[in-house]
Structures are given as C-alpha cells and as structure tokens.
Amino acid sequence: MNKLSSSSLDDLKASARGQVLTPGDAGYDDARKIWNAMVDRRPAVIVRCAGAADVRRAVDFARENKLMLSVRGGGHNIAGTAVCDGGLMIDLSPMKSVRIDPAGARAFVEPGATLADFDHEAQAFGLAVPLGINSTTGVAGLTLGGGFGWLTRRFGMTIDNLLSADIVTADGQMAHASKDDNPDLFWAIRGGGGNFGVVTMFEFKLHPVGPQVYGGLVVLPLEQGKEALAKYREALKTMPEELTVWAVLRLAPPLPFLPESAHGKPIIAFAACYTGDLAKGPQAVEVVRGLGKPYGEHLGPMPYAAWQQAFDPLLTPGARNYWKSHNIGELEDGLIDAVVESVQGVPSPQCEIFFGHIGGVAMRVSPAETAYPHRSAQFAMNVHGRWDDPKDDDRCIAWARDIFRATEPYSQGGVYVNFLTQDESARVGAAYGDNFDRLVQAKTRYDPQNLFRHNQNIKPAAP
C-alpha cells in the first residue's frame, strides 16, 4: 500500500462508478475470494467495475502507478490468476448483462456473466452457445482460453462461435476485435487468454438448443471400467454429433438413484447429453446404457439449463483444488489401465479423473485459425485433485502428479490453457504449440510492457 498515496486512491474512487475497495473495507474479503480455496491473495486495491469506463480507468491507474494487475471474471480459474498480491484487481463480476437478439441469433455478453446467467437469458428463446459444464464458471475466462462443453461436438469450441469483442488494451484504449476489425487481436483472444487486454463485451453466434434435452448418468462399478472404456472408445466412432458423452472416474457420491451400498465405492460414470429431436433421445442413449451393467442410471428429458447445473454440487467454491491435464488423441489400452488403477487409491472422496470429449466440429477447424491450436485433441483429460483440509495438500497434489506422469506417454503433449495450475508456467508453450510465435507478435503489438502478466503469460518480444 505504501506505493499508493491516499490522494491517488481518493481520485480513483471519485472517478469510478463501481466500488473501489482497499484492505479493511466492507466487502474486500468477499471480493478477493475465488473458487479455488488454495488461492489466498490480498490486492492493494480492488476496482469492482460497473462498466467499460471503470475498466479503462483501472487499467490506466495500474499502468501509471506501476501496479501488478489482475483481472477477475468468474473467479473460477484453477490457477487463481484473478487475484494478485499487493496490486490492483479489476473485478468484472458486477458486469453481468446478457442481451439476446433472437431474430439475429446473437448474444451480447458482459465479462462478469456466468454460464448460469448466459443460459438463463438464451434458453428463454431456446438458444445456446457451447460453454462449459459448471454453471458458476465465468463466460469470459472460459471463452478466452478456448471453451468447450456439451455442445462442442455439434457446434465447435466457444471461440468458434465468437463473432466479436470489445477490449480495453494496455494503453487504456478501447478496441473492437472481429474478423474485419483488428483481426490479429481477434485471432489472439480466441484461446490466448487474458494476455491482450480486458474484454468488456463478447458477441456470440447462437444455435437452437433445448429448452429440453435428453441425457443423464449411467454409473458402473469400477471393476467394469477397463471394458466399459474400451466399448466407449469404439462407440464414439459412430455416435451422432448431437450426442456428447464424458467419462468420469471417482468414488460414488450419494446420488439418489444409486443404492446406498454403492455410495463411496470406486465407479466410472458416463454423463450423456443428447440435443437432437427429444423423441429420439431414448434410442440415442442406448449406446451409453450398453457400456456395462450399472449400479444405477438416471436418464430422461430435462431442461438444458438444469443439465448445465447438474455437476455444480460436486464443484462448489471453497474447496482446495489442484489439477493436472493432458490432451488425448485416442484412449489407448495403457491409458485406460493407468486411470482405472489410480482411482482405486484416491486420497479424497472429491478427487476424480474425467475425459471431456471434444471431437466433432471442433476438430474440423484449422489449428492456425484461432490461437487455440489443439484441433486434433479428441479429449481433454483432467486429473482433478479436490479436498477440504490443508493438511491433505501434499497427499492430494502427489496423487494428481503421479497420474499425470503415468499417463504422459499416451498424451499428445499439448494442454488446454484453462486447466493449467499456477505452478505450470513452463507449459505455456505446450498450450499454444505452433501458434506461440504469432501470439508473441500480437502481445508485442498490444501489450509491449506486459501489463497483463498475471496469467498464463505470453511475454512480449524484447524491445
């Protein structure tokens, strides 16, 4: 705080429409809390932006006062990049507007909106865009890293549906980025994370989805895991793109459709979402029912918005989280053996491994078309260490790292940038592959002093 005079802070407060918080202010501790409880940082000042003017003012203030700058959208990023120590945090969470243009099938979304905010507005018109699987995730961070979810096989990555963005750059100016305006910036923000500025508005192309979809869970004993994953691998070859199925290995949570005797037992669950003609739903998910003899299943029609929230109870904020992730091309036998074996020794009942199936339309885009390059990755495999007690940190982190090493021979070498933890800055190059040099060029043009560096950082070229 010694860097900031009280008069400069008073000026900042007077010029902002939103709240400006410093340590000790009411609301300061709530504003600095994020999803991953392992992250506990204390910014010198938090600007809770009410609009683009506040964002510009905060960027200028951080630059002029040589402050570390961090940007919070949904606060969901595993690495905790939203919050910095001793610097300025731009908090975008008050900027939650979602405007739907149903005739034009467009959505205009502010950067504080969550997936739940987005779905609430878009589903009122039976429209959607591919987003993640946890409704408390922020649209902004998810999009800037690439973004995928239940609709990706059918409609591509989130960034494949981004039409334009308004972005405050490091000089405090507002730029419009699209295929026609600042195309190099538009290319870079589609996967390059928050390295290039603060997006204050996203424009997405929408697709007819829902409001009802067909899907749910089929939960098998882990003893059937190897055979079930081999069948799953085969079934994916002929699954329609309206059907997305993810595989999750963990201990069984106390789900109401599971017998009590299965609770806490090692399982493999297949989560299915079919967005085609509802009447064809039961037939479409038969392939999932055929993967093994389940402990229990829960399949049927449901609102798309409800399915987007189905995993929220397992992903609540406030737990300690540590991830390790690979991009996977094929589910090889050795990979299947390694993950099935590792779930038998999970260090916490909240730990899990999932295979997020991407595939489909997302794989038919050229790797050079967006900053996100991993178009040949059929899966993002995530080893999700999750627990509550800090005393379990070493044990749970070691478990995640051990699986990561055991499965590395079966990976493509790349990684999804949104799944990188704070100790993995050395893997930023792996996140961008052949696109990295072009990202450095964009960074050098739009942020030559690396003001936006509290992230999975792409450094500008030296002057």
In a 3-state reduction of DSSP, which class is residue 27?
coil
pLDDT digits (tens, 9 = 90+) for 422-455: 889 899 999 999 999 999 999 999 999 999 999 9
CATH number for region 17-91? 3.30.43.10
pLDDT digits (tens, 9 = 90+) for 123-136: 999 999 999 999 99
Q: What is the pLDDT of residue 390?
A: 96
For 332-352, b/e burial (b = at least 16 CB within 10 A) is: eeebbbbbbebbeebbbebbb
Task: Characterize the bridge pairing of strands 45-48 and 88-91.
Answer: parallel
pLDDT digits (tens, 9 = 90+) for 288-304: 999 999 999 999 999 99
For residue 296, the surrounding DSSP H or E stretch is strand 296-303
Q: What is the pLDDT of residue 5?
A: 85
Task: Characterize the bridge pairing of strands 207-208 and 127-128.
Answer: antiparallel
**Average pLDDT of the chain to the nearest whole number:** 96
CATH level 3 topology of 98-209: 3.30.465
Q: What is the pLDDT of residue 463?
A: 76
Torsion angle in degrees (nearest 10) through CA of 278, 280, 283, 288? -50
For the chain, domain boundaries: 17-91, 98-209, 212-419
Categorize the per-residue pLDDT at 3 as very low, low, confident or very high, splitting at 50, 70 and 90. low
Contact 76, 137 (CB under 8 A): yes
pLDDT tops 70 at residue 2: no
CATH number for region 212-419? 3.40.462.20
pLDDT digits (tens, 9 = 90+) for 146-187: 999 999 999 999 999 999 999 999 999 999 999 999 999 999
Residue 373 tokens, joined: 């390059």
| pTM score of the predicted model | 0.96
